[in-house]
Amino acid sequence: MDPMISPIASRADAEAADAADALAPIRERFAVPEAIYLDGNSLGALPAGVASAMAEAVNQAWGQDLIASWNDHGWWTLPGRVGNTIGALIGAAPGQVMCGDSTSVQLFQALVGLSRANPGRPVLAVDAGDFPTDRYITDSVARLLGLTVERVDPNRFVPDGRTAVVAFSAVNFATGELRDLAGITDAVHAAGGLMCWDLAHAAGALPLDVDGLGADAAVGCTYKYLCGGPGSPAFLYVAERHHPSLDLPLAGWHGHAEPFAMADRYRPAAGIERARVGTPPILSMIATEAALTVWEGVSLSDVRAKSLALTDLIVTFADGHLSPFGVEVVTPREHHRRGSQVALRVPHAFELSRALIARGVIGDFRPPDVLRLGVAPLYLRHSQVWDAMEILAGVLAANEHLDAVFARRGGAVT
């Protein structure tokens, strides 16, 4: 296990860490919520510059300039521009990332595209514990292409000569476990397979190097650590070496070599431009582009160091103060196996997540018994995380969460 770097074990320690925090000024770039927000791994906080960018897009570009805005306000080039900005955050050289659609759609594109690039092999491998959409899309792609899905444990998976494509998440959505990205990618390649990483819980949470890894494709969303807003468009990375023969399933007109020639047949655009599909959600993508400016001048090594300090704080506090209440840390303790969240297994986790919200601490619940606490280093303070843990201890000690009011499960989103 890696050593913990000066673990924060008191509020004074947390205040000292805030005073020394290289990322503290970045918080000013956000309209931070009043609550202690530990759910940035689900929906990131609102960057302060988004509102004016949206007002300009609505009032001027849409309201006045209308159709001319495709050229005059750069709407046509927006998906590739935002793609390149995301690329810089995941270690992709320009021209390999396209922004658009949802992660589910991009995963479908990637898995079909990579399967077609690796014919004659019958197996798609997916993490048995991955986010549902990853499992569902993989199953559907296999049905479509006549392949077989193997649901595997990424830590024990051994690819072989039957492996066509492997789809794993870099960080598991429930446990927060960070996979061995390099080791897995190398093993898949050694067996002749192709590797697609889902970076939903990794992009903006830790330094990534998709080019250096040699990943074949990667997908991810922009509404978590990248703070693009509710429903903000996802991204697809495909390594340049695959571009010339890349045969994506969604042959939409925006990905055509000459979209305005209105040709009879599809002919893919060169490079990653072929990963465009149809008309993108321009307003949402403008919000995403404005949101991504919060990353200017931010070092992802600083983000990672602060993220580990914050998750160490939660782990240390849980071990020291919460085990009498049946709380167990699920997330790996080794830094190299941890993303930017801590999953706590706890009795009545749903009710606890609700009671915490009533006390101004927003985390979330994942079935059957996990309280997820995500830490987004750009806008969280160490002292806030300390306070959240003290509030959590107080709620558990007083059994506040057992009040019947917190057991109610109304609405589609739990």
Among all residues, which ones are annotated catalytic? 131, 198, 223-224, 372
Is residue 140 at the binding interface for ligand PLP, with CB under 6 A as the rule?
A: no
In angstroms, give the least distance from the CB of 138 to ligand PLP: 11
- Please state at what angle helix 349-358 crosses helix 382-397, rounded to 10 degrees: 120
Q: State yes or no: residue 109 binds ligand PLP (CB under 6 A).
A: no
82/203 Cα distance (integer angstroms): 14
Residue type, 194: L
Q: Which is nearer to ligand PLP, 71 or 155 (CB)?
A: 155
DSSP string, 5-35: SS---SHHHHHHHHHT-TTGGGGGGEE--SS
CB of 102 to ligand PLP, least distance (A): 3
Q: Is 234 in the site for ligand PLP (CB under 6 A)?
A: yes
Burial of 145 (0-12, 13-18, 19+ CB in 10 A): middle
Is residue 103 near ligand PLP by the rule CB under 6 A?
Answer: yes
Least distance (Å) between residue 70 CB and ligand PLP = 25
| Token reading at 161 | 């000569």
Q: How far is the CB of 74 from ligand PLP (least distance, A)?
A: 24
Q: How many residues bind ligand PLP, per CB under 6 A?
A: 13
**C-beta closer to ligand PLP: residue 269 or 283:** 283
- Using alpha carbons, list the distances in angstroms from residue 37 to 233, 314, 378, 381, 395: 22, 14, 12, 10, 17
Choose the stretch contacting ligand PLP; rule: CB under 6 A; options: 66-74, 102-110, 268-276, 342-350.
102-110
Task: Give the residue among 29, 2, 64 at the shortest CA–CA distance from 294.
Answer: 29
Query: Dihedral of CA 235/237/300/94: which sign?
Result: negative
Whether residue 303 contacts residue 336, with contact meaning beta carbons closer than 8 Å, is answered with: no
**Which token pair is 321?**
């103060």
| Closest distance of CB 221 from ligand PLP, Å | 4
Nearer to ligand PLP, 61 or 291 (CB): 291
- Residue linked to tokens 């077609």: 116
Does position 131 interact with ligand PLP (CB under 6 A)? The reply is yes
Interaction of residue 30 with ligand PLP, rule CB under 6 A:
no
Site for ligand PLP, residues 188 to 207, rule: CB under 6 A: 198, 200-201
Q: Which stretch binds ligand PLP (CB under 6 A): 66-74, 127-135, 256-264, 285-293?
A: 127-135
Token pair of 272 as six digits: 């990653």
Q: What spatial distance separates the first Cα and last Cα of the chain, rounded to whole Å?
A: 35
Of 89-97, 130-138, 377-385, 403-411: span binding ligand PLP (CB under 6 A): 130-138
Binding mask 145-174 for ligand PLP (x = CB under 6 A): ------------------------x---x-
- Interface contacts to ligand PLP, rule CB under 6 A: 102-104, 131, 133-134, 169, 173, 198, 200-201, 221, 234
